[in-house]
Structure 1
Amino acid sequence: MTAFDADRVKCVVWDLDGTLWDDIAVESPTDELPVPRPEMLAAIDALAARGVLSSIASRSAPAVLDRLAAGRPEVRERFLAPQVSWQDKSESLRRIAENLGIAVDALVLVDDSPYERAEVEALLPAVGTLAPEDVPALLAAFEGREVTPESRARVDRYRTEEARRAEGERFHGSREEFLSWCAMRLTVGTATPEEVPRALELAARTHRLNSSGLTPDRLGELAASDGHELYTARMTDRFGAYGVIGAALVDRTGAGTGTGTWSVPLLALSCRVAGRGAAAAFLFWLMGRARRAGAEEFRVTLRPTDANLEMRILLRQAGLRRVEDTEGATPDSAVLGRALHGELPKPPPYLHVSDREDAEA
C-alpha cells in the first residue's frame, strides 16, 4: 500500500479480475461474468455515501464492459468513466481523470497485481495504490469526516455530468452554442449556515480552481470573525442542479490594505464546472459587489501551485496584478489587485448570473 491523502481522494479506481471478482472474465466459457465480491460492492457503496466516486481500470477485452452493462446493470451503474482495454493502467487512470475533470492525484487504484501497482507507482507516483486486502484501511481513512449534502449527491451529479457530456458529443453546433443551449444559471449570495460545511469542503478538496489553499479550519475562523463575509455560488442547467459549486471569503477589515479595499483570501470552485465560465462569472460578480459596496480596489490572495494554473490565468485575464505594498502575502503566496473604476469584465453571454436574494424574491 502506498500513502494517499484522503482529503484529496475523489475517485477510487477498481481492477476487475482478482479484485472486484475472483476469476478472469475473458476465460469464462460463457457470457456469464464472475460474481462480484460482496465486500467490494459494500466498500464501493460506503465510499459513494461519503461522496467518493468509483471507476474501473481493467486490462481486459473491452467487451467485458458491455457484458457487465447487459448482465449486471446494478453493478455497472456504480462506476463512472470506466476503462476496460489492453492499455497500461497508468494510461487508463489518466483517461479516467480527464473524463471526470479531476486531477490524477485525486485517484486511488485498488489492484491485486503487484506488477500493475508498480507500473502506476512508477509513471503516476502521485496516485495511491492499494491491494484488495487494504480496502478496510481505505474505508477507515474516511471515517469521522463530515459528509455534506453535496458530498452525498456527488455520484449522482457525476452521472448527470456523463449525460451532459454525451449530449455535448451529439450536439450539432459550436461549444458556445451548446453551453447556451444548456441554459446555465449561476446564483450568488451570502452563505447560509447550511452552506458553510460545503464551503469548508471546497476549501479542502478543490485544487484546480483554488486561489490560496486556505485550510478549512482557518476559513471557518475567518468566516465567523467580524469584518468577513462568506459568499457561495450555486449553478443549474437544463440537466439539473450542480449544488454549491463555489465559495469566496471576503475580508473587509482593511487590515494592511485600507478601508476602500475588498480582499479575497480564498476563491474556490468545484472542478466540475471548469470550462463553463462559472469561475469567471463568480469572480466578476464579487468585483461588481465590491464596487457597489463602495470599494475602490479588489484584491485576491494567490498561492501558485502545479494544479491551479487555470485560476492564475483567470485572475490575470480579469486584470489583477501583483501588489507589493501589502501585509497579506506569505512566503509562498502573493496578493493580486486591481482598481474598480472603469468598465469591469462581464461573464460569458451564455451564463445567466443573478444575486440569490433577487432570485428568491
Structure 2
Amino acid sequence: MQLTHCGSLRRLLVPADVYRQLHAAESFAEPPPSIASWIERLAQAGMLAPRDADELAAHFESLPAQDEARLAGAGAATADAAPEPPPLARAVHVGLIGGCTLQVLTGAIQSRWRARGVAATASYSWFHAESQLSALSDACDFFVLHLFIIQELSRLFAAFQTGERAAVEQEVQRLCARVRSAVEVAARGAKGRLCVVHTLCRASVSPWGVADGSYRRALDAINAVLYDVVDRFDNVLILDEDDLLAEYGRRGVLDHPYELFAHHGYAAAGFRNEMPPWGDPRAMTRFLELSADRYLDLFDAWSGHRRLKLVVVDLDNTLWPGVCGDEGFTWEDRETGWILHPYFAGLHEALRLLAARGVMLATCSKNDRAHVLGDWTGRAEPRRSGGPLHPDEFVTHSIDWDAKGERVRRMLALLGVAARDALFIDDNPVERAEVGSSVPGLEVFDGPMHEARSFLLSHPRLQFARVSAEARTRARSMRVHLERDALRPRAESEEEFLRGLEIKLHVTRASGADVPRAAELIARTNQFNTTHERIGRDTLEALAQGGKVWCMHASDRFMPYGLTGVIVLDEAGVRLYVMSCRVLGLRPELPFLSAVLRSAGWAERRPTAVVRECPRNEPCRSVFLRAGFRPVDADTWVLEHEAELYRADPGVYEVTVGHRVDGLRES
C-alpha cells in the first residue's frame, strides 16, 4: 500500500499487513513491536503529527509565506528573461494510464503545452487490469499508455535470474501477448481517439553479461509487438523512449545500470521520498519535458491541428550554391565529387519528403524567370530520379525583381493558403526580415542553413500520422488547378469551359476504407464546410455503417482527384456537407448533392439542411439555395418538392452512383 502525506506529497510504500496494523494502531495503548520501526520511519519522513495538532490549518497558513518567498526570489526577473507565453488558443485533456513514470508528468505537460498556447489538464490512473482500458473516459481528448509496470516485468526479470533460455522465451511470449491484448483493448476503448503508447527502454546492462544479446532481443521483441499494433489501428501511435533518450542521454534518468526494473529517476524518488543516488534531476526534468512535447506533437500530427500547408524557398545559395544569374551554379561539389554540397542535398531531401506527405512547395527568388527555370530544368532533368529537386516538383514559382513580401502575399492568395499555414526559407537575413514584416503570421526559418533539413523534418507542424493517397497528389492537383484556371478566360462561357474538362463524379456510400480520408477531409476543410462540425472517426465510422455517409470521387481530363467530397445525413436530411477546395473549380457541389439525395431516397421526403456562417466558409453558404432549397430560418433550408432539386447536365458531368473499384470508378 502507498501512504501519502497530502500536504507535502511525501510517499511511502508499506506491506499490506503493516498498513492494516498502522490503521488500527490508534486503538492500541502501545504500538505492536512489529510496526514500531515503520512508525519511526513515518516520523522521520515528516508524515506524523501530534494528536492535538491542526496539521491541515498549519499547512494552508504556510502557503502564503511560501508564495511570497517564491515571488521575492523571482522579483528580479524581467520580460527579456521570461517572455510572455502565447495566449491559450485551445484546451486539451490527456488521460495518463500506466505506472510511476506517468505520475510525475503532469507538471511538465502543463508548463510545456502552455508555452505552445494549449491549456492542458491531465488525469492519471495506475494500470491494474486490461478491463479498465475497454471503456476509456469520454472527458479525454487522447490517452497515453505506459504498460511496463513492475508487476508486468518482474516475471521476465526473474526468468533471467534462472539462467534458463526457455524460461526467458516463455516470459517474453507471455508479455508480448499481454502487451498486444492491452493495446488492442485500449485502441477500441478509446472510440477513435488517439492512444500514445510508450515503448520499453532497452537496458544498458544485460544480466547475462556483455557477450549476451538475448536481453536486448527480448526487449526488442516486446517493442516490435507495439509497432505491429500501430499498423492495425489508425488511432495508435508510438512514443519510443530510446529516441527521446538519444537526444539527451540515459544516465541519471533510467535505473538499468543499478536495478532491474525500468524506473525513471523522479519515479524512483517518489517511492523513496528522495532522489536516488544515481538520479540526475536536470536530466530527468529534460526527459519529462521531451516526453510532454512529444505527446502534443503526436496528437497534433494525428489530428492535423495547425498543420503547415506550404513551404516557400529562395533559390540562390538556398536551394543551390552560387547565383544562377551571375556565374551560374552547379550541382557537383568540386572538392568531393558529391552531387550537391551536403547541406544543400539535405534541404532537397527534406523538401521532397514533405511533398510526399502532402505539403506544397513553392519558390520566391529575385532573378530572371526564363533564365533560371531554363538553367534549372536543364541541370535537373538528367538526374530526375532521386537527384536534386526539379522545377515541376513545385506548385508555383515567383521569380522576378519585386519585393518578396508582396509576392509572397499574392502567392498565398493564389493558392488559398493563410499566412499562418505557410513557412518561408531564405539564406539572406535581410530578405527574411522583409518578408516576415510584410506578411504577418507567416513563419520564417531564421537559423543557419545547414540546420534547415533537421528543422523541416522535426517541425511539430510538419508531422503526419497517416498520409492519404489524396494528400500525396496535393501538389500535382494544385498545379493542375492553376493550369485549369488559366484556360477559363479562353472559353466563351463557363459551361463551355466545364464541358471541355470531361468531369467525372462517382458517388457512393462510404465504406470502412473511406472513413480515414473522410474524417481527414471533415477535420481540415474550412472553406466549403456547411457547419464546421468536426465529426470524429469513431462517430463517422458508426454513421458510415448505418449508410449515413456519402463520398464523391472526382476526376477530369487532367487527373483523378480522389475522395474530395463528403455528405453526412441524419434523420432530417443533410447534417454536414464538406468538399475539398482543390475541386471547387469543377463546380461539382450541386451534382454531388442531388445525386446523394436522390440515391438515398431523400429527394421526395422534404429534406432539411443546415448552413452556419463560420469563418472562411463563404463558398458554401449558397449551395442549398442554388440546389433548389428554400430558407426556413437563418440557418435551416428545406427542399419542398423533388422537382425543384437541381439536375446535372449530362453533357458537362458524368455522374455515376455505385460501388468503388480500383482505379476507375464505375457504376
Structure 2 residue identity aligned to 1:251:
D
Q: What is the alpha-carbon distance in structure 1 between the residues aligned to residue 531 and residue 547 of structure 2? A: 16
CA contact (8 A) 2:501 2:557 kept: yes
Question: Structure 2, unaligned stretches of length 5 or more?
Answer: 1-85, 87-115, 117-299, 333-339
Structure 2 residue identity aligned to 1:224:
A
CA contact (8 A) 1:185 1:351 kept: yes
Q: What is the alpha-carbon distance in structure 1 between the residues aligned to residue 626 and residue 425 of structure 2? A: 41
Q: Which residue of 2 aligns with 1:345?
A: 646
Q: What is the alpha-carbon distance in structure 2 between the residues aligned to residue 321 and residue 113 of structure 1? A: 56
Structure 1 residue identity aligned to 2:398:
Q
Q: Which residue of 1 aligns with 2:259?
A: none
Q: What is the alpha-carbon distance in structure 1 between the residues aligned to residue 432 and residue 636 of structure 2? A: 42
- Is 2:659 the counterpart of 1:360? no
Q: What is the alpha-carbon distance in structure 1 between the residues aligned to residue 393 and residue 428 of structure 2? A: 22
Which is strand-richer, 1 or 2?
1
RMSD of the alignment, in Å? Answer: 3.3
**What secondary structure is seen at the aligned counterpart in 1 of 2:548?**
strand
Which is helix-richer, 1 or 2?
2
Q: Which residue of 2 aligns with 1:66?
A: 374
Give aligned pairs, total: 338
Q: What is the alpha-carbon distance in structure 1 between the residues aligned to residue 502 and residue 620 of structure 2? A: 24
Residues 195 and 262 of structure 1, relative CA distance in 2, 3 Å threshold: same
Q: What is the alpha-carbon distance in structure 1 between the residues aligned to residue 590 and residue 547 of structure 2? A: 22
Q: What is the alpha-carbon distance in structure 1 between the residues aligned to residue 631 and residue 494 of structure 2? A: 33
- Determine which structure has more spread, i.e. the larger CA radius of gyration: 2
Structure 1 length-normalised TM? 0.80
Q: Which residue of 2 aligns with 1:284?
A: 594
Q: What is the alpha-carbon distance in structure 1 between the residues aligned to residue 501 and residue 542 of structure 2? A: 36
CA contact (8 A) 1:15 1:58 kept: yes
| CA deviation string 1:175-199 (max 9, x = no partner) | 4313201110111111122221111
CA contact (8 A) 2:310 2:423 kept: yes
Q: Could you tell me which of 456, 475, 486 is aligned with 1:138?
A: 456
Question: Structure 1, unaligned stretches of length 5 or more?
Answer: 253-260, 325-333
Structure 2 length-normalised TM? 0.46
- Is 2:485 the counterpart of 1:178? no
**What secondary structure is seen at the aligned counterpart in 2 of 1:224?**
helix
- Is 2:399 the counterpart of 1:84? yes
Q: Which residue of 2 aligns with 1:15?
A: 314
Q: What is the alpha-carbon distance in structure 1 between the residues aligned to residue 377 and residue 464 of structure 2? A: 34
Q: What is the alpha-carbon distance in structure 2 between the residues aligned to residue 294 and residue 174 of structure 1? A: 33
| CA deviation string 1:150-169 (max 9, x = no partner) | 12233343444455456x27
CA contact (8 A) 1:277 1:347 kept: no
**What secondary structure is seen at the aligned counterpart in 1 of 2:551?**
strand
Aligned residues: percent identity? 29
Structure 2 residue identity aligned to 1:283:
L
Q: Which residue of 1 aligns with 2:430?
A: 115
Structure 2 residue identity aligned to 1:205:
R
**What secondary structure is seen at the aligned counterpart in 1 of 2:521?**
helix
| CA deviation string 1:292-332 (max 9, x = no partner) | 47532221242411x221111334434556655xxxxxxxx
Q: What is the alpha-carbon distance in structure 2 between the residues aligned to residue 52 and residue 323 of structure 1? A: 41
Q: What is the alpha-carbon distance in structure 2 between the residues aligned to residue 117 and residue 195 of structure 1? A: 42
- Is 2:515 the counterpart of 1:231? no
Structure 1 residue identity aligned to 2:555:
T
Structure 1 residue identity aligned to 2:518:
A
Residues 291 and 156 of structure 1, relative CA distance in 2, 3 Å threshold: same
CA contact (8 A) 2:590 2:623 kept: yes
The 5 A counterparts of 1:132-211 are 132=449, 133=451, 135-140=453-458, 141=460, 142-161=462-481, 164-165=484-485, 168=487, 173-211=492-530
The 5 A counterparts of 1:241-256 are 241-252=560-571
**What secondary structure is seen at the aligned counterpart in 2 of 1:147?**
coil
**What secondary structure is seen at the aligned counterpart in 1 of 2:578?**
strand
**How far off its partner does 1:81 sit?**
1.0
Residues 275 and 158 of structure 1, relative CA distance in 2, 3 Å threshold: closer
Q: What is the alpha-carbon distance in structure 2 between the residues aligned to residue 299 and residue 280 of structure 1? A: 14
Q: What is the alpha-carbon distance in structure 2 between the residues aligned to residue 319 and residue 231 of structure 1? A: 20
Q: What is the alpha-carbon distance in structure 2 between the residues aligned to residue 209 and residue 170 of structure 1? A: 24
Q: What is the alpha-carbon distance in structure 1 between the residues aligned to residue 581 and residue 467 of structure 2? A: 18
Q: What is the alpha-carbon distance in structure 2 between the residues aligned to residue 162 and residue 182 of structure 1? A: 14
**How far off its partner does 1:234 sit?**
0.7
Residues 9 and 284 of structure 1, relative CA distance in 2, 3 Å threshold: farther
Structure 1 residue identity aligned to 2:361:
S
Q: What is the alpha-carbon distance in structure 2 between the residues aligned to residue 77 and residue 148 of structure 1? A: 21
CA contact (8 A) 2:504 2:653 kept: yes
**How far off its partner does 1:38 sit?**
0.5
**What secondary structure is seen at the aligned counterpart in 1 of 2:516?**
helix
Q: Which residue of 2 aligns with 1:263?
A: 574
